[in-house]
Structure 1
């Protein structure tokens, strides 16, 4: 059952919503007006709406040849404990450890669950032979920055410390995420570059959040975007950053980093009619200018998160397959990251 069908079944058949018309891809347009509305004015209500939309669905089961394990990455020292969901090819490790992807789910910092990323990771595991690990990070406003980054770092440290047991090659670990999860992945990459720690070899950033200022042309123009809009983006940043009065850290909003050199190569996707489109494009441009290998794909006629809603659309299948293919290329032939600042 698609998210479109879930929303219909949980809220009842309803009239097509009135909205500004965008030239969506024809296959995306078939579901675009039935996509579930999202309003972060009341975060608890938004969470309840999503819970209703998925209620009664069977638990995720990986495809044949892939096994799922729930891990308790207990923190060492001051590191927080983190729940992880690991997908790996069945049969256990043989010889050298497998490459791995540490993944952060989307949800505007305030919504979502690590398990909702498992279908994507299942495909990535089957097609690349890598291990996929989804992080159950804490949500805002209950947990503000830097909690998810601390949890991501704790997860990464735990994976490296248990690499042999998990069958992971510690020299071939990538980080990635969708939307707000992309902010966490990019922020973690920046922190590792600046403070040291386990090496990561690649960033897989799917429609990433990067900039809390929301001043790009797309953020200004697409204020009524489907599923995600500028108002939701503002509310999500407010929940995540809290009201500390402190300058915004680049580990929270990666676009605020003054220097992007020395980071791992990146693959970035953006959707055309998305308020976050231009901040993703700009982040890719700045990475390229900093001599970081960066590949950017913009998908025509799409909206924020459409690849997870309009699943049957060819453009959605292409976006997801492009992400998996980029991961496979990166993990099959990784090289040490060169820090151009030195």
Structure 2
């Protein structure tokens, strides 16, 4: 993978094949080449069992991370939660001091796979370039712990951070929630629950290609149902493990887009990828937040696929897009500072 991505662009284009154009967008050449290599290697998200899928993701995450990274302090943090003690990791960039902004980050992986390690490089990158401390959380995974276990862990973690901000070196007025995919879902849910329960609102929401609606299927899920890393079959597999039989899929803790009242939520940034089955769900949430007069910004990376923040060692294009996300987080926290 690394050798192929280091080749001259015209060679990468030959290896990737003719440009893929769909829904008025052209797929980035490195994303296309990575997908072709994944196809040859048989790499996919879903597997015969959650255990196998986790093993596969743990291995592929190491391949895709950066070979060298700026030095950064980190330490484990144990969080008391209603479902048992949770492991998390606090990242502290060398240029970030005390009383700093802090991002509570929930990893993606369909609520079934993923952990602090699979997202280590992404969280380090965001912390470094946004100039924030970041706490990455290992919430409980399905099917061993189906919905609402992950939601409970996400809420408990956020409330712990608010209550222990000084101990974590964080400014209690500049605590953001964020995550990618399933983690974006959890971040949105945490913000909604904080508002509905009269708790301390996050200063900012960073929602990276979030899943926000288990009820409605929008056009992007059909356009990009297969061949672009996250597939329709993958999404059905994740849902089958996470959502218990008979659960109300319109529950805002599952489908935050379907909440009756989105007004009063903290400022947010919604990030989507053009070639992503979740694209239209994320953008529908942006529209709903905007309609509810929530300060919100949207950026679609037209040429990219789901999961690009976990591919920082593969291509400069993925790093460029994630650098922009870090800038959005930094700006959002600066503008909401009290």
- C-alpha contact (below 8 Å) 1:81/1:151 kept by paired residues: no
Tell me the C-alpha RMSD between the 2 structures.
3.1
1:1-342 → structure 2 map (5 Å cutoff): 21-22=20-21, 23-35=26-38, 36-40=43-47, 42-53=49-60, 63-64=70-71, 66-75=72-81, 78=82, 80-90=84-94, 93-94=97-98, 97-309=99-311, 311-334=313-336
Q: Is the 8 A contact 1:99 1:130 kept in 2?
A: yes
User: 1:125–1:222: structure 2 CA closer, same or farther, 3 Å change rule?
Assistant: closer
- Summarize the Cα distance change of 1:315–1:63 in structure 2 as closer, same or farther, 3 Å threshold: closer
Structure 1: stretches of 5+ with no match in the other structure:
6-15, 337-342
Tell me the secondary structure at the aligned position of residue 28 of structure 1. Answer: helix
CA shift for structure 1 position 185: 0.6
Question: What is the aligned length?
Answer: 321
- Paired with 1:325 and 1:206, the residues of 2 have a C-alpha distance of 13
Secondary structure at 1:114 match in 2: coil
- Deviations along 1:105-157, one digit per CA (max 9) or x if unpaired, are 11111110122222222223223331101011111111111111111121122
Distance 1:321 1:330 in 2: 14
Partner secondary structure for residue 167 of structure 2 = helix
Partner Cα distance (1:166, 1:306) in 2: 29
Shift of 1:3: 12
Q: 1:60–1:118: 8 Å Cα contact kept in structure 2?
A: no
Encode CA deviations 1:266-292: one digit per residue, 9 max, x unaligned.
111111111111101111111111111
Question: Structure 1 residues 268 and 4, CA, compared in 2 at 3 Å: closer, same or farther?
Answer: farther
Counterpart-to-counterpart distance in 1, 2:188 and 2:280: 16
* C-alpha contact 1:225 1:275 (8 A) present in aligned 2: no
Q: Per-residue deviation at 1:264?
A: 0.9
C-alpha change, 1:41 and 1:283, in structure 2 (3 Å) is farther
How high is the TM-score relative to the length of structure 2? Answer: 0.85
Partner of 1:9: none
1:302-333 per-position Cα deviation (integer Å, ceiling 9, x unaligned): 22113433755444223201110011111223
TM-score (normalised: structure 1) = 0.84
- Runs of 5+ in structure 2 lacking a partner? 6-14
Give the Cα–Cα distance (whole angstroms) in 1 for the partners of residues 61 and 227 of structure 2. 23
Q: Aligned equivalents of 1:59 and 1:223: distance in 2?
A: 29
Task: Report if aligned partners of 1:153, 1:188 keep a CA contact under 8 Å in 2.
Answer: yes
Give me the whole-angstrom Cα distance separating, in 2, the residues matched to 1:17 and 1:43: 30
Aligned position for 1:11: none
